[in-house]
Amino acid sequence: MSINILHADPERDSEPISNLINICITEKRTVLSSYTPEGEKRYLEDLGDREAVFVAYIDDQFAGFAGMSPRWPYSDKLLHCGEGGTWVMPEFRGRGIGRALWDQGVFPWCKKVGLTRLGATVMAHNLGSIAFYEKLGFHINGYHRKMVKWGDEYLDSVEIELNYYP
Ligand SMILES: CC(C)(COP(=O)(O)OP(=O)(O)OC[C@H]1O[C@@H](n2cnc3c(N)ncnc32)[C@H](O)[C@@H]1OP(=O)(O)O)[C@@H](O)C(=O)NCCC(=O)NCCS
pLDDT at 164: 75
Give tens-digit pLDDT for 58-81: 999 999 999 999 999 999 999 999
**For residue 54, what are the domain limits?**
3-163
Please tell me if the CB atom of residue 126 comes closer than 6 angstroms to any atom of ligand 1: yes
Task: Specify the number of domains making up the chain.
Answer: 1
- Please choose from 28, 132, 140 the residue to mutate so as to test ligand 1's pocket, defined by most ligand atoms within 8 A of CB: 132
Question: Closest Cα to atom 35, ligand 1: which residue?
Answer: 96
165, pLDDT greater than 80: no
Query: pLDDT band at 149, cuts 50/70/90?
Result: very high
**pTM score over 0.95:** yes
Pocket of ligand 1 contains residue 132 by CB under 6 Å = yes
β-pairing, 61-70 vs 52-58, is antiparallel
Kindly state the DSSP code that residue 27 receives in the 8-state scheme: T
CATH number at residue 7: 3.40.630.30
